[in-house]
Each structure stands twice: as C-alpha cells, then as structure tokens.
Structure 1
C-alpha cells in the first residue's frame, strides 16, 4: 500500500551548480555524491523520510522543466519569502505574481510559495492548513482565506 512519495529525481544542466542551489535550502541534507556519474542525492527533512536526486544531462542534455513541492510548516511559509530573497531567489505565488500575495488552494487547503532552481524547475514550499477543505471555492489570497475562516 502506498504511503507517500519517497523519492524525486530531476535532470539538471550542471550538477555542481544545482548542488550549490539545493544545499542552500533548509532541511536538505547531502546524502551521496557520484562525481563520475554527475549525480547527488539529498535527504529532505529527516533522514529516511524523503529523497531528492539531481543528475546532470540524464537521460539527455535536454532539461525539461519539472515541478515538485517541499512540505513545510505553516509558520515557515511567512518567513520563506525573506529567506529565499536573502539567497537572491525570486519568489512568486501560484499565478506567477508577487509572493507578497500568497494564495490558498481551498480544495486541500494549503498555502504555498513558488521559486525556480538554476534550470527553471518549478519548486514550491507548501504548508497544509488546519481548516476544513472548501473545494467549491477558487484559489484565493491567503488574507481572504483567513478572513473567511474568522482569523483576520
């Protein structure tokens, strides 16, 4: 029975440059590197919970944009923009607008912030909300969600 996603691998154009990028992110723990094969693995969160692999030009030199999300705590979403900005990483919301206006996905519900790695892979920090899902609602600003849930 499936219990979650354990491992994600992405193709990168320069594994050393990508390694530098990912090693700046919180809770990314270097696990294994094979310089000959130009790959590196990381634990995401606690060792043994989830793994990210980067590999240069595998299976080809064509790097196709991928998307994946790292689960974070809700209180970390608020500081993520400043943290990523300190690393010179531009952040956006789901619609590619300023991360000053973060959005909630009511069907989950969750709030998130987006950014890209050196190859343009779409990365998301996402935090689940304790509220009941509201799948009948469209994606909305977090401030609006908070008001809707009586927490303004």
Structure 2
C-alpha cells in the first residue's frame, strides 16, 4: 500500500522569510500559497513529485528534521561548498565540529546536515550501495570505503 513519502510539513516563524529561504536559497518551487491561512506548499524535485508544507507559527515553534535525497557525488563534491556559499553552516551527525559528510553504516547512507533559519534540522542524504553494517555505527566516507575492502 505505501510506496513512499509524498510530503512533510514544518513550522516556521515567518512565512515570507521561509518561502524566500526554501525557494531562493535551496531552489524549491512555490506550488501554492493559501490566501486564508499562513501556509505555503513547495515542490521538491519535479512538479508534483514531492512536497514541503510551511506553516507559520508565531508561538511555541516546534522544530523538525527531514532529509532531501541527493547523490553520492553531490554530497561528497559539492554539498559543503553549496551550503557555505549560501551562508549555511554544514555539520555532520556527530556534531563534532567537522563538516565532513558521515556514513550511517546501518543503512548505509552518506549525509550532511544544516539548519533552516528557524532551526529545523535539514539533511542531504544518499543511500549507498551494498548491505548495511550496523556494528560500524557512524563513520567517515573514507572509513566506510576502507571497511568495504
């Protein structure tokens, strides 16, 4: 019955600022803005493929986490530069001060994190080929490659 995840929603403190961030900085496309409520919907990827809902919440803002699908090559070669050029601070899952993407060995997947202006935790992630190795925990991509040899 379930084939995937179509949409997710996050709370934002200022809808206009959030629309600007997600469209101008990250490149999502505005799909619809509700004229009766402070809500906007954005396309992720191709039109009608995936959707992100932005809900303005002036009080008791609850931040969330979600991940954007990316490619291995983009994460390894461009993600940190892409984020830094947009004045965003990349960080890895371990939050150890490194901006190096990390591998979640149990999946396996490569990921790098950053925050939106409201503190929602965003991620670029790419599923890696092969079987997961949960016993390895979270490690660098170089360590992951060495483990596979």
TM-score strictly above 0.5: yes
2:81 corresponds to 1:82: yes
Name the structure 2 match of 1:126: 125
Q: Counterparts of 1:90 and 1:46 in 2: how far apart (Å)? A: 26
**Paired position in structure 2 for 1:19:** 19
Q: Which runs of 5+ in 1 are unaligned?
A: none
How far did 1:99 drift? 4.6
Number of aligned residue pairs: 147
Structure 2 segments unaligned to the other structure (5+ residues): none
TM-score by length of 1: 0.90
2:50 matched residue in structure 1: 50
Matches within 5 A, 1:1-152: 1-23=1-23, 24-26=25-27, 28-57=28-57, 61-78=59-76, 79-150=78-149
| TM-score relative to the length of structure 2 | 0.91
CA distance in 1, matches of 2:38, 2:98: 33
Kindly report the root-mean-square deviation, in angstroms, between the aligned alpha carbons of the 2 structures. 1.5
Provide, for residues 25-48 of structure 1, a one-character-per-residue CA deviation record: whole Å limited to 9, x for no partner: 14x121111254222111111122
Q: Distance in 2 between matches of 1:73 and 1:64?
A: 29
